[in-house]
Amino acid sequence: MSLRLSVQRRAWQQSVDAHAALRPGLVPVVKGNGYGFGRTTLMPIAGELSNQIAVGSVYEADDVPDTHTAIVLTPHVGQLPTHLPPTAVLTMADIDHVSAANTQGWTGNVVIKLQSSMGRFGTTPDNLALLEHAIRDGHCTPVAYSVHFPLVGTSADHVNEIEQWLPRLNPGLPISVSHLDIDAYARLIDSHPDRKFQIRCGTSLWHGERSLLSLTADVISSRAVNAGDIVGYRGVTIPADGHLVLVGAGSAHGVHALDDGRSPFHFNHRRLVLLEPPHMHTSMLFVARELTCPSLGDRVDVQRPLINTDVDELEWVDD
């Protein structure tokens, strides 16, 4: 049984290269589950695009090749891992982040995180000078500013936020941004030729052409059932005569019902009925007798965001 991500190799690589070319100062992001591909798969590809690779946490920094710089996006206040590369760049948004690193004897390069309308971690304009002073006193070296925007709002709103910050920032440090569309990012660069900008990009880079990616699960069992039969962990009643279909994908892969409760599984351009929530490595589906039913070894389409999905197989398809 398997959950498989199939990728049209050449067209996907062309898409990645095209998206990268439109973003000068690109810092590719490879974090979490590696956007469905796995971090180890994307790292060498990201390394061809930039000498810096952004990761989600200090625990992922060791994945970055020794020849490249790991930019850690999430501040850390606990024990630093022993395998943290000395060249890693830590994000700091508060003087407590500086203290936590200094307590462990860490002194290195730092990205200063700025507060945005996201409302997550990030220093405020009033506290920026205090944070910069703490970083200097902690013998760390600021190498960039960073700002992270929410998915809501327009790119124009986000550019306006950046421009409100500019008078407060050291003009010698680059400003790393996210969630700006290509046109807005180009206008930002053109409007401020005296500043250096970088743009972090993950989803738009790796999933830029979603049609080149296919997520499927295989059928591991299919048998006839009758209306009224009781099946599953929760004793679900079969609604009509038809077939019980078991597929090799479940909660262990990050596969769940959609937010509205509908099934994420499709076959023959039709949504399949999900009898109960996916469990571990298997999901139970129902196909009415009058409908085309997948057979053992067939694959069904899975509708899930790849950033939340752990696949068993990555299949490169020669297109």
Q: Structurally, how many domains does the chain consist of?
A: 2
State how beta strands 109-114 and 90-92 pair: parallel
State how beta strands 283-288 and 273-274 pair: antiparallel
Q: What is the pLDDT of residue 267?
A: 97
Does residue 2 lie in a domain region? no
Query: Are 200 and 177 a contacting pair, CB within 8 Å?
Result: yes
Summarize the confidence of residues 235-248 as an average pLDDT.
96
- Dihedral angle over CA of 202, 206, 208, 214, nearest 10: -140
Q: What is the pLDDT of residue 98?
A: 96
Query: Are 148 and 116 a contacting pair, CB within 8 Å?
Result: yes
Same domain, 30 and 144: yes
Same domain, 181 and 259: no
CATH classification of the domain holding 185: 3.20.20.10
Provide the CA 81 distance to its chain's centre, in angstroms: 22
Percent of the chain with pLDDT over 90: 98
What does the block give as tokens for 148?
């992270």
Q: 248 lies in which domain range?
A: 211-317
Taking 80 as the threshold, does the pLDDT of residue 106 lie above it? yes
125, amino acid identity: P
Same domain, 30 and 123: yes
Q: What is the pLDDT of residue 243?
A: 97
What does the block give as tokens for 66?
């020794």
Angle of helix 128-137 relative to helix 95-103, nearest 10 degrees, comes to 10
Write the DSSP assignment of 121-147 as a string of letters.
S-B-GGGHHHHHHHHHHTT-EEEEEEE
- Dihedral angle over CA of 251, 253, 257, 263, nearest 10: -120
Same domain, 169 and 217: no
Q: Which residues neighbour 4 within 8 Å (Cβ) at sequence distance 6 or greater?
A: 215, 216, 217, 218, 299, 311, 312, 313, 314, 315
What does the block give as tokens for 6?
């199939």
Does residue 231 lie in a domain region? yes
Q: d(Cα 46, Cα 190) in Å, to the nearest integer?
A: 26
Element (H, E) at 71: strand 69-72
Query: Are 300 and 294 a contacting pair, CB within 8 Å?
Result: yes
CATH classification of the domain holding 215: 2.40.37.10
Question: What pLDDT band is residue 319 in, cutting at 50, 70 and 90?
Answer: confident
**Under DSSP, is residue 165 helix (H, G, I), strand (E, B) or coil?**
helix
Question: What pLDDT band is residue 246 in, cutting at 50, 70 and 90?
Answer: very high
Does residue 43 lie in a domain region? yes
Q: What is the pLDDT of residue 161?
A: 95
Question: What pLDDT band is residue 1 in, cutting at 50, 70 and 90?
Answer: low
Q: Which of 104, 105, 77, 103 is closest to 91 using CA atoms?
A: 77
Dihedral pair phi/psi, residue 125, rounded to 5°: -55, -40
Element (H, E) at 95: helix 95-103
Q: d(Cα 165, Cα 127) in Å, to the nearest integer?
A: 13
Taking 90 as the threshold, does the pLDDT of residue 14 lie above it? yes
Provide the CA 305 distance to its chain's centre, in angstroms: 10
Instruction: Give the chain's length.
Output: 319
- Structure letter (DSSP) for residue 25: T
The string of pLDDT tens digits covering residues 169-210 is 999 999 999 999 999 999 999 999 999 999 999 999 999 999
Same domain, 62 and 154: yes
Summarize the confidence of residues 139-151 as an average pLDDT.
95
Same domain, 33 and 147: yes
Same domain, 24 and 154: yes
Cβ neighbour number for residue 129 with a 10 Å cutoff: 11
Mean pLDDT of the chain: 96
pTM more than 0.85: yes
Cβ neighbour number for residue 216 with a 10 Å cutoff: 23
